[in-house]
Structure 1
Amino acid sequence: MTADRPPYRDPRLPFDQRVDDLLGRLAPDERLALLHQFAPAVDRLGLAAFRTGQEALHGVAWMGPATVFPQAVGLGATWNEELVRRVGEAVSREARAMRARDDRVGLNVWAPTVNLLRNPLWGRNEEGYSEDPALTSALATAYTRGLRGDHPVYWRTAPVLKHWLAHNNETGRDTHSASVRPRVLHEYDLRAFRTAVEAGAVAGVMPAYNLVNGRPNHLSPHLREQLRTWTGQELLVCSDAGAPSNLVDSQHYFATHEEATAAALRAGVDSFTDHGTDGSRTTARLRGALDRGLLDPSDVDTAVRRHLHVRFALGEFDPELDPHAGTGAFDTPEHRALAREAAEQAAVLLVNDGVLPLDPAAGRRVAVVGPLADTCKLDWYSGALLHRSTPLDGIRERFGADLVVHAEGADLVRLRCAAGLLRVPDSGGAAETAPAPGSEGALDPALLAGRTDLPPLTADGEGTVFALTDWGGGVLTLRAPDGRYLSVADDGRVRASADRPGGWVVRETFRLEPHGDGHLLRHLGTGGHLCVAADGAKVAADGGPAPAVLTVETVRRGTDEVAAAAASADTVVVVAGNDPHINGRETEDRTTLALPESQDRLWRAARAANPRTVLVLASSYPYAIPDAAAALPAVLWTAHGGQAAGAALARVLAGDVSPAGRLPQTWYAADADLPDLFDYDVIGARQTYLYFDGRPLFPFGHGLTYTHFAYAGLDARRRGDTVHVAFTVTNTGPAASDEVAQVYVRALAPSVPRPHRALAAHRRVHLAPGEGRRLEFAVPLDALGFWDVAAGRWTVEPGVYAVEAAASSADPRLEARLRVDGPALAPRPVLERGLEAADYDEQGGTEIADRDRASGDCVTPVGTGPGELLYRACDFGAGVRTATVEVSGTGTVVLAGAAEGTGPGPVRAEAAVPGGPYAYTALEIPFTAAGVRDLRITLTGRIRLARVRFTAAGG
């Protein structure tokens, strides 16, 4: 190569060779600097500054106006990979176009979130696709393919999957450990990631904040043992924000940041997202780790190589060859149409007795009521709206503005304190200084810290009538007549200054707390109470100025307003649900599935006044609404649908589009149906449609249309390692519509607990009235399998399986039987392999913990125990004479083997191991057993069991 064009600039060379050449030219400190999220430029080599991490979950986020598509859970409800791929493509084209005019926009995109929606109380439910690993992985593959682009060499954007691994709680999210047994790990959580990675459209993953089996995810051995074995390409592992420091600061897993940083890098973290744009602390920790011998320079080089591979793939070093350069597209007619199409396909009709669709030509009045009737909600990972369509907007446009009446249903109140009624003073025009939402150059209001250019509330005059909305659990917002919400800025003053609730710490939520004959108003963001002085209202912490005691004077009840509007209309559409910044969001789990009481009262008031009441739930998660489902003629759910939500809803209500979305997760009837939020054992706790033994309110895969479909001619046959499934679906009703045909499999006589049925394939197809289509599916034989803990591998057990063609997980229409031949599963070869403690079949009162800080699992009682473990069908051969237990801590281990009620009595080992939880000792105890029998182990105290080995009699 010529001196002015080194090998790393030669596009004829493979990336590996170019990366190695560039790596060799970087000085040691330059290499360290590349490992921070904000990698600085290296001018002497022509490297630009580079930032990992552009949020792009359902549109380009946080960088100003962009096309906003439905939330991820709404995209999950479409069950349509091709649509989701097109959304990913549109998002990546907008990222390219936005970067061309603003180099803060990154091309390493952190999306999609593939955490499974195991528990619907998870605050970030809106970010995932589904509770099912097959559906989630299919949609994640589609979205990443759209983000990546289809060029064989250069990527349009480089997607990173979130959040590795088993992450479903915001409560204690950086300190709680999920206990994930091997079967759940391999059959459930890993499957959501694997398909997309194997498809070659993923640039990397982001570890989650939480711990799994006692070990922080940023040290996950599965990065090495699983993720990096799935593909031959380099994968970039980007830490979550602040997580590297959590290893010391909140998790106390290491004593020093040098140890923690070194361990994370060795585990596979390549890019450290910490301390904002300041990379100096990360590089200092890395340098300190090198100086202390905790890291080898080769560890740094490995991570830098992965970082550089992504940059080469994005075309940074070949701008003249980059097929995506100059091809970005922003806010095009095609993107606007796609946003509406996605919102239409995401609508799920839960109940319908024939009241829907409504006929716009009939000239009948429609009342559109409820707290979400005239709003277009955004979430934390949305861009700013360029276009906005609320349900009221859409219905007015489609049905005629003169035929549509509106009632929000908020209570109108005045707040009186000792000094008088609270009043919003005249802003003197200051309220007009902020850019309008969606205007060019405007920031997303959710990212604004709070305005201080408006006067605070006072207590004088006639007072202001506020619209009070209770979002559930007593969390409320107060809005002034000009549409501005009461908000608390950094100076503590209370102003009517916010366009909407938002921000990392929401500044617009309050709670009324009974106090004597009145109430105190607590600001939830700061914890302070409202105080009123001569210079205006502010919030102050306990111990500060005396809080104001308020009397709430109701001017009009929201239920009265709704009832009046309902009585004046032919049909009522109640739009209820959540605000994605309130009651269930990142950092905050929900506490109940129930619809907020205030919203429950609204639909009841509407129905009492008008039986033709349709409930539309626009929400980030499921609700338990058994009364509404039984009483109302129609119920429809949609996730927050982005910029076209209202227009899409109106078209569905009018029958322009037949709703055909399907539920991506189970809707339970009551809180009692849910296990503990922290119980990650979907098998043992009988979670999700796979194992839930009760009757759901609405099952996984459920969704109605405006027509009917018949299923016929199911054929299922095995050819080699593939099960070929075919059947015919026919539209037997009056309306053209999509149908989501679903294929489930189930084992009829399994030797271990298996799902009731498991999704193996699906397809969304459009059929005209009377049209039929033969659908064919190729299902891998492995879809019938499970993780055999006895053998430590994926296994398809011989036996008979049912293959079902279904309209939902609770509505199988056709069934075929399929026999899989092969040798029967062998008992556990405990003499040859011993027993890994975590490879149990059943447990009670235990949790899995970290065997050491780098890898491996052990089992320990929850609290002081006792905890019990069951290992079925252990083959002790001709007999054993001793058992050796590898344990740490203090307590007892009791082993008991039995076959049909007979066998050796229990034997006990007591441990008192100095040196902490990772100092194991091997205790040998007499234990006699022969043949195949179950083994029970009881753990008591602060003891950790890693492994059990057996010595054959005479051995």
Structure 2
Amino acid sequence: MTLPASMTTTEAAPALEARSPGELLVQLTTAEKIAMLHQHSPGVERLGIAQFHTGTEGAHGVAWLGKATVFPQPVGLAATWDEDLLRRVGEAVAVEVRAKKARDSSVSLNVWAPVVNPLRHPLWGRNEEGFSEDPVLTGKLASAFCRGLRGNHPDVWRTVATLKHFLGYNNEVDRNVSSSQLRARVLHEYELPAYSTPIVEGGVGAVMLSYNLVNGMPAHVSDLVAKHLRQWPGGADLTIVTDAGAPTSLYAAEKYFADAPAAYAAALLAGVDNFTDDGADSAPSISHLEEALERGLISLDDVDASVLRLLRLRAATGEFLGGARPYPADPAAGEAHRLLAREAAAKSVVLLANSAPASSGGAQKSGPLLPLPEEPGQLAVIGALGTHVLTDWYSGTPEYSISLAEGLGELYPGVSAVEGHDVVALRSIRTGLYVGTAGENHSLAANSATAGHEQLFELQDWGGGEVTLRSKTNSLLLAAGNDGYLYPSATRVGGWIVQETFRLHRDSDGGVRLQHVGTGKWVHVEAHTGSALLVAGAIDVADTFTLRVQENGLEAAARAAAEAATAVVVVGNDPHLGGRETLDRTTLELSQRDQELVRVVREANPNTVLVIISSYPYALGDLANVPAILWSSHAGQELGHGLAAVMSGAAEPYGRLPQTWFAKDCDLPGILDYDIISAGATYQYSTAEPLYPMGHGLGYAPVEYSAMEVSDAGERGIEVSLTVRNAGTRNTEELVQIYAAAPDHRFEFPRRLLVGYGRVPVAAGEQRRVIVSIARDRLATFSVTALRMLTEPGEYFFLAGRSAGDLRLTASLLVDGAGSPDRQSGAEVRAEHFDAAEGLELVPETHLAGTAVAVSPGCLLAVAEYRNWAAAPAGRGTVRVARSDGGRVSFERAGAAGTWLPWVQLEVPAGCNGEIGFELPSRGETKTDIRLVVSGNVVVSAFLLG
């Protein structure tokens, strides 16, 4: 999370001869070094080091720095599955950052993008910011985007990309106090690949840590940076930055440390190089770090290591090269970027469904509803998202924006647009007067005995009880002013704390009271002025209004649909409402109002196209029966052109879903359940029948698959070859997707695992052979006995098709691999390295290192299975206890037919911290499985049997 700072032009540091980061480091004083550890570094004039701050937002365009090209949201870009397009978009963002830097030296060349948290749960409020449910696809797309941000100069980076947010971050509810449970397999197979790919491929210079805890330890102080990020090729010099306010959270919300210096010291020692705290005010952070140094919690060597990494980040952009500058100061790329934005908007559109309308009389199209014919007749675009282009918190400010109605209007004559809102008037029951605009500033007041134009408002229901009210007087949204009064003053919903939404509280007698969502205050009519004022308190302080519907939006929508040859109904979300940073969604369903809008339009005209413009997937229920359905993210300034190109057939549908669209809320695990294996989550492990599967997306041409072969290609890995044939009359591009399955795998292999994909152009009637190469390590799983990623030997099935749910061909291959060793007697087993578990929570072994197991809150027992022992252990055993408030530790052996037999039981006294020895009764089995059972308040680190 970042909040936009006020950016002012500053004088650039004087150009000096080229200097290395090491040369600069030794000339800095201790105070100057510590000052550099805050996000906003003051600069060192005597050394010609300019002021600097980390972080220019650039998730899908340059944000918060004035006009910029706005591309589709990241989840929309990911729907293209097009690495080259992502690279070009990243390059465009970097070019525009450099251009802004040339005009304002305070602009940072450190870009805080992309977000690479896999889209594990579709209710995550920040779904729009990520790329894909699949971590490897996420990593590939992120790597391409980062290559674009970096530029192609061998030594000087155009900008420095920052991956966000490490690690295990997919929930907004309690995000800075919740613990993401990442067992070893989930960590290595699902979380880390999204980061390792772009880092190893060399396009990343920084990583931002996440707010949450991981296995009970705050991500900002855990050993994950040292164990993983720093160990990868390219990882040693990564600059690690905190998320905004996270350092304070360590000792405030999380209460993990007694005070700020201890928290700052632990973060620095864990790998943090730059603290984003207290906005632009660096004084508190400097004070905390100085005290940590004075108390001996950190050393000057620790400070030097972080400062050196920060200087290297800056040096990478050419800052210390003196007069040499490999990139143009202010390239004129406007038109090229506009065309790229249009290309990205069109390619990100996903055709979810396309069939012929059900017969109900009247003029109907005989074939699939899309593409639209050259002369489609009257088109009615219905819904507010058909006439407005919305932006999100991390969007830039576009030079222009094209709505769907405008895009279609450029292609076809006679396009009408109806937003489908109710037009309402609010009459104060206490005063008997209608609320309307008054005076030059259009302030809101109860001032009229009748409902004229100034007393009318368009009411839009966004779901979840939130509505907006747009004045008919000036077409602006009601919002709270700084003085507490209401004004129609906002062009759109926006801001970190939204000021443009209200909740309608209906009384039993039909009266309505309005609560301002942003402040929680109530709308009250002043007795002496009639002005509408926000007041704090209980609901009794609110005025009660009669809400009169002057124009029924659903009736208007039905009329427009009935009069059109084709109705295009557009629904979705506002990115600032219902689900966003700090707020997760509570349901997959569209708002009730949007559902009704689709139904009335469909009932009025069977030739209905449903367009969903959203930041995330929806469950559609009976609405999935609409004959043609398209999805687009909030695709930026060229949204309308992109959608219109696909709907008209000028562009072939190119997009494929980067995540599953589940059919029902009950198909999802809890949003805080990060163990995708045990939870049966994501396309990899879910057994639920999805509405639209991972990778889904139709084209306008039917494509046939045949003649699949799988072969071991030696150093090239595994090759899957097959034939695709375009059986239609239109040229197309087919995205061939390859998934793997291994039913007899030693560990629980995913039901479906995306292992490769390739896009191939196929002309009408053409047949082409496609070869997809698969790296052998894509089949690897984390071995809990070898403690590394391994490809287990055995039979793997490769499935080819158009999505994870449309797999048309299958072939198998016996794959060699090192294989996991059996567990051995006499070897210590870390308790965290189980095969399966129930009722178990992963917790810190010590305050700042290691992972142990304990009973999960609300459970009586923690049970962990450790399978595949070469022989039943005998002799002595030990269990290592990290801490105890009293409880029991037991070991059981596998019996017949899934039973478990008692073996060893140990009482663990309160205060125990260390090893407990015991004798193992000999049973003589040659192979066995063992499980650990913990009850009470005991934390187990490891055990050794035999």
Q: How high is the TM-score relative to the length of structure 1?
A: 0.92
Query: For the residues of structure 1 that align with 2:721 and 2:892, how far apart are their CA atoms?
Result: 50
Letter in 2 for 1:500: R
Contact 1:888 1:911 in 2 (8 A): no
2:845 to 845, 851, 859: 851
Post-superposition offset of 1:688: 0.7
Aligned with 1:524 (options 517, 523, 529): 517
The match for 1:169 among 168, 171, 175 is: 171
C-alpha separation in 2, matches of 1:870 and 1:28: 52
Secondary structure of the 1:78 match is: coil
Structure 1 residue aligned with 2:773: 778
Q: Distance in 1 between matches of 2:832 and 2:447?
A: 64
- Contact (CA 8 Å) 1:657, 1:737: kept in 2 or not? no
1:811 lines up with 2:775 in the alignment: no
**The one of 460, 482, 489 aligned to 2:448:** 460
Matched with 1:238 is 241
CA contact under 8 A between 2:116 and 2:138: conserved in structure 1?
yes
Aligned to 2:558: 563
**Structure 2 CA distance for aligned equivalents of residues 35 and 825 of structure 1:** 44
Secondary structure of the structure 1 residue equivalent to 2:324: coil
Residue from 414, 432, 455 that aligns with 1:420: 432
- Please tell me the residue identity of whatever aligns with 1:121: L
Picking from 651, 654, 663, the partner of 2:657 is: 663
* Residue among 383, 388, 393 paired with 1:375: 388
Per the alignment, in what secondary structure is the counterpart of residue 192 of structure 2? helix
What is the match of residue 474 of structure 1? 465
Q: Partners of 1:706 and 1:688 in 2: how far apart?
A: 28
In the alignment, structure 1 residue 940 sits paired with structure 2 residue 943: no
Between 1:118-127 and 1:476-485, the stretch displaced more is 476-485
Letter in 2 for 1:506: V
1:898 correspondence with 2:884: no
Question: 1:843 and 1:764 mapped to 2: Cα distance?
Answer: 40
Aligned residue among 673, 679, 696 for 1:702: 696
- The structure-2 alpha-carbon separation of the partners of 1:824 and 1:21, relative to structure 1 and needing over 3 Å to count, comes to closer
Distance 1:796 1:601, change over 3 A: same
How far is the alpha carbon of 1:10 from its aligned partner?
5.7
CA distances 1:270-294 after superposition (whole Å, capped 9, x unpaired): 0100111111111111110110000
Distance in 1, matches of 2:199 and 2:372, equals 46
The AA in structure 1 aligned to 2:432 is G
Return the offset for 1:817.
1.7
The answer to whether the 8 Å contact 1:340/1:648 transfers is: yes
> Counterpart in 1 of 2:378?
365
Contact 2:147 2:203 in 1 (8 A): yes
Question: Contact 1:520 / 1:549 at 8 angstroms: preserved in 2?
Answer: yes
- The partner residue of 1:686 within 680, 700, 725 is 680
Distance, in Å, in 2 between the alignment partners of 1:162 and 1:324 is 26
The one-letter amino acid of 1:910's match is E
Q: Distance in 2 between matches of 1:644 and 1:143?
A: 20
The worse-fitting range, judged by mean Cα deviation, of 696-705 and 510-519 is 510-519
Letter in 2 for 1:509: T
Give, in whole Å, the separation in 2 of the partners of 1:903 and 1:624: 42
SS at match of 1:382: coil
Provide the C-alpha distance between the structure 2 equivalents of 1:420 and 1:847, rounded to a whole number of angstroms.
Answer: 60
Please tell me whether residue 298 in structure 1 is matched to residue 301 in structure 2.
yes
Between the aligned partners of 2:944 and 2:754, the Cα distance in structure 1 is 38
CA contact (8 A) 1:414 1:421 kept: no
Amino acid at match of 1:268: G
Partner residue in 2 for 1:128: 130
Query: 1:113 corresponds to which residue?
Result: 115
The one-letter amino acid paired with 1:673 is D
Residue 909 of structure 1 and its aligned partner are, at CA, apart by 2.3
Between the aligned partners of 1:243 and 1:822, the Cα distance in structure 2 is 43
Distance in 1 (CA, whole Å) between partners of 2:377 and 2:773 is 49
Equivalent residue number for residue 488 of structure 1: 480
User: 1:713-732 counterparts in 2 under 5 A?
Assistant: 713-721=707-715, 722-732=717-727
The C-alpha deviation readout for 1:144-183, integer Å capped at 9, x for no partner, is 0000001110000000000000100000000000111000
Write the letter of the residue equivalent to 2:88.
Answer: R
- Cα pair 1:360 1:398 within 8 Å, conserved: no
- Could you list the per-position Cα deviations for residues 352-373 of structure 1 after superposition, in whole angstroms to 9, with x for gaps in the alignment? 0144324453250111001211
* Residue of 613, 621, 631 corresponding to 1:637: 631
> How far, CA to CA, are the matches of 2:882 and 2:536 in structure 1?
49
State the alpha-carbon separation in 2 of the partners of residues 370 and 395 from structure 1. 14
Indicate if the aligned counterparts of 2:60 and 2:70 stay in contact, CA closer than 8 A.
yes
Choose which of 270, 274, 299 in structure 2 pairs with 1:271.
Answer: 274
Equivalent in 480, 494, 497 of residue 489 of structure 2: 497
Secondary structure of the structure 1 residue equivalent to 2:172: coil
Inter-CA distance 95–753: structure 2 relative to 1 (3 Å threshold): same
Q: Secondary structure at the match of 2:55?
A: strand
Cα 1:421/1:845, change in 2 over 3 Å: farther
Deviation digits for residues 903-942 of structure 1, max 9, x if unmatched? 862432233443xxxx733222333355421112222222
User: Aligned to 1:573, what secondary structure does the other structure show?
Assistant: strand
Q: How far apart, CA to CA, are the structure 2 residues paired with 1:323 and 1:772?
A: 46
Determine if contact 1:56/1:110 at 8 Å carries over to the other structure: yes
Note the alpha carbon deviations across 1:685-721, whole angstroms, 9 max, x for none.
0111111112111100000011012233433222335
- 1:874 CA drift (Å): 2.6
Q: Which amino acid in structure 1 is aligned with residue 437 of structure 2?
A: P
For the residue of structure 1 that corresponds to 2:395, the secondary structure is coil
In 1: Cα distance, 2:818 partner to 2:104 partner: 62
Match for residue 361 of structure 2? Answer: none
Write the letter of the residue equivalent to 1:747: A
User: Is residue 875–residue 919 contact of structure 2 (8 Å, CA) maintained in 1?
Assistant: no
Task: Report the secondary structure of 2:921's partner residue.
Answer: strand
Flag the 1:903–1:635 CA change in 2: closer, same or farther, 3 A: closer
- 2-side partners of 1:830 and 1:683: how far apart? 28
**Which residue of the partner structure matches residue 406 of structure 1?**
417
Q: Which deviations, in whole Å up to 9, do the C-alpha atoms of 1:239-264 show, x marking residues without a partner? A: 10010111001000000110100000
Which of the numbers 249, 257, 260 marks the counterpart of 1:257? 260
Indicate which of 774, 789, 797 corresponds to 2:792.
797
Residue of structure 2 equivalent to 1:316: 319
In structure 2, the residue matched to 1:628 is 623
SS in 2 for 1:219: coil
Write out per-residue CA displacement over residues 579-619 of structure 1, whole angstroms, 9 at most, x where no aligned residue: 00010000000000011100000010001111111110000
Cα distance between partner residues in 2 of 1:103 and 1:423: 48
Structure 1 segment 339-358 matched on structure 2, within 5 A: 339-353=341-355, 354-358=367-371
Counterpart code for 1:396: G
Give the letter aligned to residue 164 of structure 2. Answer: K
Contact 1:319–1:325 (CA under 8 A) maintained in structure 2: no
**Partner Cα distance (2:622, 2:256) in 1:** 48
Say if 1:32 and 1:662 are closer, same or farther in 2 by CA, change over 3 A: same
Q: CA–CA distance in 2 between the matches of 1:366 and 1:317?
A: 58
Equivalent pairs, count:
906
- Aligned partner of 2:742 in structure 1 is 747
Take 2:514 and 2:909, find their aligned partners in 1: how far apart are those partners?
A: 54
Contact 1:53 1:106 in 2 (8 A): yes
Partners of 2:499 and 2:825 lie apart in 1 by 59
Aligned: 1:547 with 2:542: yes
The code of the aligned residue for 2:862 comes to G
Taking only aligned residues, the RMSD between alpha carbons, in angstroms, comes to 1.8
TM-score (norm 2): 0.93
The DSSP-based 3-state class of the residue aligned with 2:489 is strand
2:643 aligned with 1:649: yes
SS at match of 2:676: coil
Which runs of 5 or more structure 1 residues have no equivalent in the other structure? 1-7, 431-453
Looking at structure 2, the residues matched to 821 and 41 of structure 1 have their Cα atoms a distance apart, in angstroms, of 56
Mapping 1:159-198, distance limit 5 Å: 159-198=161-200
Describe the SS at the equivalent of 1:575. strand
- The letter for the 2-side match of 1:511 is R
Q: Which amino acid aligns with 1:851?
A: E
